[in-house]
């Protein structure tokens, strides 16, 4: 960032070094390398297929739950491993808290860094469930069954 420092003067380095404050994140670079190698061994196509299958199960099961509105394509081939939804008689924040406290299930609630879009769908925010490589079909079925039970209990 600094080219040189004297008692009463400093000179900035040339671009782009002028904006490189501190030591680069070397440990993060090695971590990223290990993550890329790990995912490469599994195979990105295998990960995509697994995520699609989990999303398919979640979409099928969530569409059966009375009082749930899904805000995403209902086709797992067109949808990534994230499902946005709300409950008709319970706020997203209350739903997330209920699932966390009673079932140890963590979902996100709020505007999801897309406030103009999300607030046009629900001014209080939406709930979001996310699925990936480390999730199993059993976990998705557990989530959807507990979502249904929680809504039946609270509504």
- Does residue 141 surpass a pLDDT of 90? yes
Largest CA distance in the chain: 72
- 39-46 CB contacts, 8 Å cutoff, 24+ apart: 42/133
Q: Residue 141 corresponds to which tokens in the numbers above?
A: 């079925």
* Span between the terminal Cα atoms of the chain, in Å: 58
The dihedral built from the CA positions of residue 63, 67, 68 and 69, taken in this order, carries a sign that is positive
pLDDT tens figures, 34-92: 999 999 999 999 999 999 999 999 999 999 999 999 999 999 999 999 999 999 989 99
Give the pLDDT confidence score for residue 82 in this predicted structure.
Answer: 96
Which among 51, 69, 45 has a CA at the least distance from the CA of 132? 51
Please say if 113 is a catalytic residue: yes
**Catalytic residue selected from 21, 26, 113, 153:** 113
Q: Residue 15 corresponds to which tokens in the numbers above?
A: 């671009």
* DSSP three-state, residue 1: coil
- Does residue 155 surpass a pLDDT of 70? no
Answer whether 14's CB lies under 8 Å from 3's CB. Answer: yes
Q: How confident is the model at residue 21 (pLDDT cuts 50, 70, 90)?
A: confident
- Domains of the chain in start order, with CATH, are 42-154 (3.90.1150.10)
Give the pLDDT confidence score for residue 3 in this predicted structure.
Answer: 87
pLDDT tens figures, 82-123: 999 999 989 999 999 999 999 999 999 999 999 999 999 999
Q: How confident is the model at residue 20 (pLDDT cuts 50, 70, 90)?
A: confident
């Amino acid at each position: 960032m600094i080219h040189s420092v004297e008692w009463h003067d400093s000179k900035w380095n040339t671009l782009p070094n002028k904006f490189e404050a501190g030591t680069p994140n070397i440990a993060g670079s090695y971590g990223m390398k290990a993550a890329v190698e790990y995912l490469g061994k599994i195979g990105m196509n295998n990960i995509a297929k697994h995520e699609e299958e989990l999303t398919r199960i979640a979409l099928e099961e969530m569409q059966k739950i009375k009082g749930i509105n899904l805000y995403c394509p209902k086709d797992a081939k067109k949808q990534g491993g994230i499902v946005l939804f709300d409950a008709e008689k319970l706020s997203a924040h209350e739903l997330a808290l209920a699932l966390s406290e009673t079932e140890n299930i963590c979902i996100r609630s709020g505007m999801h860094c897309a406030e103009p879009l999300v607030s046009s769908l629900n001014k209080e925010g939406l709930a979001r469930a996310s699925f990936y490589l480390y999730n199993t079909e059993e976990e998705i079925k557990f989530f959807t069954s507990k979502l249904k039970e929680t809504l039946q209990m609270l509504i």
